[in-house]
Amino acid sequence: MAQLGVRRLTVPLRPLAEFSAADWFGDVGDLGPAGFESYARVLHPWREGADGTERIDGHLPEDELAALCDVLGRHTSTAEHCFFALWDGYGEIYGGESVAFLTTFAGPAPWPGRLFGKPKPKEPPPPAFAAAVLDGPRLVVGSRDYLLFAGPLAHAGLWGAAAYGVGVPRDLNSPNLFWPDDHTWFVTTDIEGSWSGVGGSEALITDLLAEPRLEVVRARHEVAQ
């Protein structure tokens, strides 16, 4: 929990409106761009679902994301200068009535004196980002559009999103795509995938396989076989 508090106080990632940082790759597929020496899948942790135990889809939780970044940071010379893409289809980004249900039962209980009165309707949640970000251009990769951010690898997932309200933080998805400025590796998490793909050097993949905080298996890129 102490680490979580430190992360909450960290300066968030910086939104970008210019996308030349992504010019070096094309369509990324499930494992990222072709051409890396080795590839792996980082399996998402398990959770209880409606149909029993299942892996978390489309999201790498904070502890696993931090463990992945610890390893990735040892295999880039530009850990302070990385890029992070967030799919723009998440309803939580936009606020308004479309996500009002997320805060219906959130927040502190009403004052006792108001228990028998008509409660004041809650305001619709605000957008996660400023209008300049939400109305700005998108990074297009394949068939999907993304918001692009820049910052240190250690700040992965710290989007700087506005809270839903007092005491109701807005925790957005983990990065769907991210990479360092020196292009030594690439990470992709599909919006419905139960694992995150990593491409990089053989040394990086070997380190990932040895990381006890992660469940990792080798993979082969469909073009790099």
d(CA 179, CA 186): 5
- Domains held by the chain: number: 1
CB distance 218 to 205 below 8 Å: yes
Q: What's the chain's average pLDDT?
A: 86
Least trusted range by pLDDT, from 34-38, 116-120, 155-159: 116-120
Angle separating helix axes 202-209 and 62-73, nearest 10 degrees: 140
* Average pLDDT of span 191-209: 97
User: What tens digit of pLDDT does each residue of 41-57 get?
Assistant: 999 999 887 677 899 99
Report the length, in residues, of the chain: 225
Q: Is residue 109 part of a domain?
A: no
Q: Is residue 60 part of a domain?
A: yes
User: What tens digit of pLDDT does each residue of 86-117 get?
Assistant: 999 999 999 775 554 444 444 443 333 434 44
State the residue range of the domain holding 133: 13-102+123-219
Q: Is residue 163 part of a domain?
A: yes
User: What tens digit of pLDDT does each residue of 158-190 get?
Assistant: 999 998 877 788 889 999 999 999 999 999 999
206 — phi, psi (to 5°)?
Answer: -60, -40
Q: Is residue 72 part of a domain?
A: yes
* Residue environment code for 7-37, b if the CB has 16+ CB neighbours within 10 A, otherwise e: eeeeeebebbeebebbeebeebbbbbbbebe
| Sign, CA torsion 100/103/105/110 | negative
Provide the token pair at 125.
């949640």
HSE-CB for 107 with a 13 A CA cutoff: 15
Among residues 12, 17, 149, which one has the least CA distance to residue 83?
149
Among residues 55, 60, 125, 68, which one has the least CA distance to residue 86?
60
Question: What confidence score (pLDDT) does residue 7 get?
Answer: 45
Question: What confidence score (pLDDT) does residue 225 get?
Answer: 40
Higher pLDDT, 11 or 118: 11
Q: Is residue 1 part of a domain?
A: no
| pTM for the structure as a whole | 0.84
Question: Residue 139 carries which side chain, given as an amino acid letter?
Answer: L
Q: Is residue 43 part of a domain?
A: yes
| Sign, CA torsion 67/70/74/80 | positive
d(CA 118, CA 136): 40
Q: Is residue 7 part of a domain?
A: no
Q: Is residue 110 part of a domain?
A: no
End-to-end CA distance of the chain: 42
